[in-house]
Structure 1
Amino acid sequence: MKQLTFLLLCVGMLFGASQASAQTADKSKGGPNAEVKESTFKVYGNCGMCKKRIETAAKELPGVSKANWDMDEKKLTVSYEDTPGALKQIKEKVASVGHDTDETRAKDKVYKALHGCCQYDRPNSN
């Protein structure tokens, strides 16, 4: 009986150690156990259509759980899995739908295709 108890205890410890190792691996690559970070940065736009477009673009990326663009402050707050390059990817995604950020400029062709009320005064450089 003691041998069976000892054997079950050993199996349980091995299983627990493998689970902890898997969780550590998930965190380093992103995934369900990655650390969630919140960042706020400048995003240019004007109206409710801009808000929807900006927030939708950000939330389309894997790992982004929240996106809220403040129309008055022209700032986007995002919650996302803190993986290498994640914030840069979010800014590039927002720029890809026509909205300049503090670091990424939208392509002229995409910006010019925005609805007239969405064409904000563009900053000189990013």
Structure 2
Amino acid sequence: MKNILIGMILLFVTLSTQAQDKKNKNAKYEIEVGGNCDLCKKRIEKAAFSVKGVKSAEYHLDDNILHLIINEEKCSVLDIKKAIAKVGHDTDEVKATIEDYENLHSCCHYERK
């Protein structure tokens, strides 16, 4: 009887842990991205949408925040930050290379941190 009770407890703990590990299909994130103008906005949003699993990407020039809705089963925020850095824009975790930044149009040269 004691073994059955212990087995049931272990089963319950295992199932509840697995349920918590599920990825969210509509996770919302906000990330800061360096940018200046409408060209930046279009480039940043296009880079975000190039990552499979991005459902929504809207960049706000007034506060330099990219609002995202993503399927965490298909991508991560880090994947998106890497894609944005490849097109020349810095995020908090991933910085664009000097070459990628220099390739931006002159009006797009934002102040780097």
**TM exceeds 0.5?**
yes
Number of the residue aligned with 1:120: 110
1:56-88 CA distance string (max 9 Å, x none): 000011100110000010010111111386110
The two structures have a TM-score, normalised by structure 1, of 0.69
Larger relative contact order (Cα-Cα within 8 Å, sequence gap ≥ 6): 2
Number of the residue aligned with 2:11: none
Q: Among residues 32, 35, 38, which one is paired with 1:45 in the alignment?
A: 35
**Structure 1 stretches (4+) deviating beyond 2 angstroms?**
none
> What is the CA–CA distance in structure 2 between the aligned matches of 1:49 and 1:72, rounded to whole Å?
14
Give the 3-state SS of the residue equivalent to 2:43 in structure 1: helix
> What is the CA–CA distance in structure 1 between the aligned matches of 2:25 and 2:70, rounded to whole Å?
8
1:78-126 CA distance string (max 9 Å, x none): 1111138611000110011000001110010010010000000100xxx
Paired residue type of 1:48? D
Number of the residue aligned with 1:88: 78
The two structures have a TM-score, normalised by structure 2, of 0.76
Number of the residue aligned with 1:19: none
> What is the CA–CA distance in structure 2 between the aligned matches of 1:35 and 1:48, rounded to whole Å?
29
Larger radius of gyration: 1
Number of the residue aligned with 1:103: 93
Question: Structure 2: 5+ residue runs without aligned partners?
Answer: 1-21
